[in-house]
C-alpha cells in the first residue's frame, strides 16, 4: 500500500512503525472473513481493511471525526485478522497508534471520559476492585437474578504450597483475577509444585497495564510496565526461570513490553528481557508434559468445551497446548465450532460496547454448549467472567481442572 504520511508523523517512531505496517497491507480482503465485527455489522469500515484505510487517511493528514473513532472503538482488538492475513500485517500495533492519534484529535464526551476513568481506576486498582467486589458479594443473595449474574459468588483460594524447590518461577498476580477467582493462581502453584517448581509472587508488581493501554492512556500503561519491570528484574537476576501468566490478556501485554518501551533508553533492554521471560502457563506446562501425564488421574473423564481466548491464540500465537494438556489429563474435549472467533469480552469491550459483546457471547455460548459439555474451560479471566454471566454450566480456568486431576491421582 502506497503511503504519504503527514509531516507531523513522518520520521517519528510511531510514524515509521505505522508506515511499515501500512505498506505491508496488499488490500486482499482475506481478513474480512474472520473479523467478528464485520460478520455482525457487514460494514467495510468495521472490518480490518476498512479500519486500516481510516487510520491511513488520518496518518496522512485527514481530520478524524466521531465516526472514525466509533469504527476504531468497535474493534475488539482480537487480532483474528492477524492470524488470517497472508501478508503478516501487524494490525494490533497499527491500531494502538491509530487509536491514540484519533483520541487526541477527536476527544471524548464528559460521560465517556468519566466511564473510562472509572474503569481504569476501578479495574486496575486491586484494593478498590476487591473492596467493591466484597461489598457486592455480601449483598448478592438479596439481589434479583439478573443482577446476581454480574457479581460472582465468593470463592476460596485453596492452599498455596510453600517454596521448597530449587526451580522457581514468578507469577503475575493480576488485578481483577485474585479477587474474582483466587483459586486460579493457587491452582497454578499446586500444579507446578507437583512437578518440582515453586511459584513465587513479587508484591511490588501490579496491574500489567493492559487496561489503561487499551483505553488509550498509554502513559498509565507504560508506567505500569516500568513498575513491573523494576519489580521483576531483581528476581530474574536471582535465578527465576520465567514469569508465569495465568491470564492470557495480561500475558500478551507483558510480551509486548519490549516493543512498547523500545524507544526508552533506560528500559528498552530490561523490557525486552522481561518479555522474553514471560510465559503463558500452557507454554510452561507443555514442556513438562511427560511429568504431568504420569501424575494425572485418568479417571472419570469430564466432558469439557474449551474456549481459546483471542489473546492466547491470536495475540500470543499459542494454539493446541491447552487442549493437549487437558486430553493427557483424561478430559474429553467436545467439538466447538468457530473456535477462532472472539467471545465479546475483550477487556472493557463488554462494558463499552454491550450490544455487540452480548451478540458475540450468545453466539459463542451456543457453540460451546452444542456438544453438551459438563464444564466450559478457558484461559483468561475476562472471557471466563463474561461467559459465566450467560452460561448455565460452570466456566473454569483450565489449570484448575488440571489441578483437580492431579490432586485426585
Q: Which residues bind ligand SF4 (CB under 6 A)?
A: 25-31, 35-37, 48-49, 51, 75-81, 85, 87, 89, 91
Backbone angles phi, psi at 214, to 5 degrees: -80, -10
Closest CB 165 distance from ligand SF4, rounded Å: 40
DSSP code string of 161-209: -----SEEEEE---SSHHHH-THHHHHHHHHHHHTTEEEEE-TT----S
Of 216, 200, 171, 133, residue with least CA distance to 385: 133
- Which one, 28 or 362, has the nearer CB to ligand SF4? 28
Closest CB 13 distance from ligand SF4, rounded Å: 22
- Which one, 36 or 178, has the nearer CB to ligand SF4? 36
Closest CB 53 distance from ligand SF4, rounded Å: 10
- Which one, 51 or 235, has the nearer CB to ligand SF4? 51
Of 292, 367, 282, 357, residue with least CA distance to 316: 282
Closest CB 24 distance from ligand SF4, rounded Å: 7
- Which one, 205 or 356, has the nearer CB to ligand SF4? 356
- Which one, 33 or 223, has the nearer CB to ligand SF4? 33
Cross-strand bridge partners of residue 197? 167
Backbone angles phi, psi at 333, to 5 degrees: -90, 125
C-alpha cell at 226: 516500568
Closest CB 304 distance from ligand SF4, rounded Å: 26
Q: Are 57 and 35 in contact (CB under 8 A)?
A: no
- Which one, 178 or 221, has the nearer CB to ligand SF4? 221
Closest CB 4 distance from ligand SF4, rounded Å: 18
CA dist 237 and 369 (Å) reads 46
Distances from the Cα of 395 to the Cα of 154, 280, 307, 314, angstroms:
15, 19, 10, 21
Amino acid at each position: 500500500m502506497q503511503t504519504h504520511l503527514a509531516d507531523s508523523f513522518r520520521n517519528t517512531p510511531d510514524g515509521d512503525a505505522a508506515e511499515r505496517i501500512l505498506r505491508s497491507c496488499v488490500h486482499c480482503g482475506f481478513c474480512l472473513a474472520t473479523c467478528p465485527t464485520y460478520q455482525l455489522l457487514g460494514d467495510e469500515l468495521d472490518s480490518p481493511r476498512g479500519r486500516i484505510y481510516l487510520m491511513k487517511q488520518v496518518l496522512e493528514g485527514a481530520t478524524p471525526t466521531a465516526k472514525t473513532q466509533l469504527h476504531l472503538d468497535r474493534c475488539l482488538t482480537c487480532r483474528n485478522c492477524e492470524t488470517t492475513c497472508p501478508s503478516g500485517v501487524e494490525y494490533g500495533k497499527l491500531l494502538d497508534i491509530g487509536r491514540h492519534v484519533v483520541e487526541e484529535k477527536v476527544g471524548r464526551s464528559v460521560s465517556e471520559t468519566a466511564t473510562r476513568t472509572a474503569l481504569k481506576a476501578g479495574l486496575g486498582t486491586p484494593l478498590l476492585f476487591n473492596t467493591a467486589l466484597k461489598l457486592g458479594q455480601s449483598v448478592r443473595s438479596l439481589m434479583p437474578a439478573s443482577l446476581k449474574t454480574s457479581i460472582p459468588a465468593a470463592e476460596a483460594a485453596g492452599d498455596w504450597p510453600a517454596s521448597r524447590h530449587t526451580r522457581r518461577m514468578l507469577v503475575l498476580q493480576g488485578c481483577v483475577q485474585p479477587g474474582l477467582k483466587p483459586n486460579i493462581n493457587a491452582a497454578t502453584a499446586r500444579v507446578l509444585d507437583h512437578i518440582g517448581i515453586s511459584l513465587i509472587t513479587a508484591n511490588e508488581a501490579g496491574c500489567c497495564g493492559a487496561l489503561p493501554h487499551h483505553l488509550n492512556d498509554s502513559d498509565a500503561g507504560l508506567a505500569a510496565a516500568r513498575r513491573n519491570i523494576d519489580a521483576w528484574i531483581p528476581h530474574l537476576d536471582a535465578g527465576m526461570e520465567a514469569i508465569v501468566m495465568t491470564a492470557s490478556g495480561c500475558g500478551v501485554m507483558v510480551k509486548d513490553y519490549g516493543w512498547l518501551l523500545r524507544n526508552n533508553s533506560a528500559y528498552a533492554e530490561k523490557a525486552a528481557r522481561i518479555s522474553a521471560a514471560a510465559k503463558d502457563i500452557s507454554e510452561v506446562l507443555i514442556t513438562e508434559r511427560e511429568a504431568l501425564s504420569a501424575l494425572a488421574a485418568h479417571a472419570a473423564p469430564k466432558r469439557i468445551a474449551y474456549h481459546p481466548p483471542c489473546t492466547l491464540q491470536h495475540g500470543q500465537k499459542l494454539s493446541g497446548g491447552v487442549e493437549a494438556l487437558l486430553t493427557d489429563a483424561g478430559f474429553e474435549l467436545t467439538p466447538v465450532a468457530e473456535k477462532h472467533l472472539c467471545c465479546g469480552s475483550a477487556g472493557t469491550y463488554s462494558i463499552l460496547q454491550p450490544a455487540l459483546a452480548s451478540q458475540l457471547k450468545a453466539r459463542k455460548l451456543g457453540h460451546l454448549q452444542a456438544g453438551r459439555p459438563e464444564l466450559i474451560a478457558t484461559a483468561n479471566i475476562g472471557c471466563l467472567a463474561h461467559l459465566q454471566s450467560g452460561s448455565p454450566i460452570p466456566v473454569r480456568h483450565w489449570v484448575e481442572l488440571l489441578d483437580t486431576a492431579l490432586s485426585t491421582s
